Structures are given as C-alpha cells and as structure tokens.
Amino acid sequence: MWKLTCWFALLAATPLLAQNSSQSAAEEARILNLENAWNQAQGQKDGSALRMLLGPELVYVDYDGKLMDKAEYLAKVQAPSLQPAKLVNESMHVQLYGAVAIVSGVCHETGVKNGKAYSVRMRFTDTWIRHSESWMCVASHSTLIDQ
C-alpha cells in the first residue's frame, strides 16, 4: 500500500517539478534578455533604460578595479569621450537562488575611447534581485581576460 502511495505522490509531484523547472527556465530567459537589453542600452547611451535595469544601490566594479555607484556608472557610460561600437555577451550562465540570480558571462566590447580604438574581453558576474515582478541588478563586477 505504501508503495502505491509513494507512486501517487511521485506522480503528483512530477507536474509540480516540471512546472517549477519551466518557471525557472522562464526566469532565466527573462534575466538573459535583461542582460542583452543592458548591453543595448549601454551601446545607445540610453540613460533611462539603464536606470530601470539597475538598482538604486548598485555597486559596480569596472575591469580596471574602479568602484562606482549607479550615478558614477551612468556618468561613465554617457561620457562623450566613450563611443562603444560593439557590446556582445558570450557564454552566459544563470544560477537562481529564489529571488536572487547570479549571471556569469564574457562581454566583448569594442569602440573608441578618448579618440583611441579599444577592444576588451572581460568576464563578469552580475547579481540580480527580484522586487515583486521585476528584476534589478544590484551588483556587477568585471575582470579583464586575454583577448
């Protein structure tokens, strides 16, 4: 009898597990879209889109080790001396912990800075937190890797 009960319990749990896993997959896809939207907004120097993606308490560590808050990061992105041409994310991975998501990936950025062409590849880790229905990035850290 207990075997039958276990079997039913397993059957009952299967759709629940499937639902949870599809919910996680949907959340992961959503966060990856936000990462790509971030690149697009940064490339277009779209301050209002960036403000929506980033939490007010954002801590941002750039690839040279410089620590910035949200206002400093926005000022850096919108500086006329920085003209990004391409921002592409590669091999992104999302790890979910309930209302927290960790994204790791590689970003390849090219452009012109202070009149000079640049090309950098950096590994980043972003921490996203869900506030009711929306996700916001609260921490971002990048480290240079070999080209």
Partner 1 sequence: MLHHRAKSIGIGIVLGCVSLLAAQADGDQSARSNILALEHAWDQAQQRGDFKAIAAILDNSLIYVDYDGALLTKTQYLTRVKENSTHMEQIVPEQMTLQRFGNTAIVVGTYRVKGMENGKPYLRRGRFTDTWVRTGDLWICVAAEATPILH
The residues that bridge with 111 in the sheet, in sequence order, are 84, 118
The residues that bridge with 137 in the sheet, in sequence order, are 54, 128
Is residue 139 at the binding interface for partner 1, with CB under 8 A as the rule?
A: yes
Residue tagged 């001396």 (tokens):
81
Closest to 91 in 3D by CA, of 57, 44, 123, 49: 123
The number of residues making up the chain comes to: 147
- 66-71: which pairs have CB atoms within 8 A and are 24 or more residues apart? none
Is residue 57 at the binding interface for partner 1, with CB under 8 A as the rule?
A: yes
Is residue 146 at the binding interface for partner 1, with CB under 8 A as the rule?
A: yes
Out of 64, 80, 115, 133, the only residue in the binding site for partner 1 (CB under 8 A) is 64
Binding mask 109-128 for partner 1 (x = CB under 8 A): -------------xxxx-x-
CA dist 147 to 14, 74, 118, 133, Å? 45, 26, 12, 38
Out of 4, 5, 12, 97, the only residue in the binding site for partner 1 (CB under 8 A) is 97
Is residue 141 at the binding interface for partner 1, with CB under 8 A as the rule?
A: yes
Closest approach of partner 1 to the CB of residue 70, in Å: 12
- Footprint of partner 1 (CB under 8 A): 57, 59, 61, 63-67, 93, 95, 97-100, 102, 104, 122-125, 127, 129, 138-139, 141-146
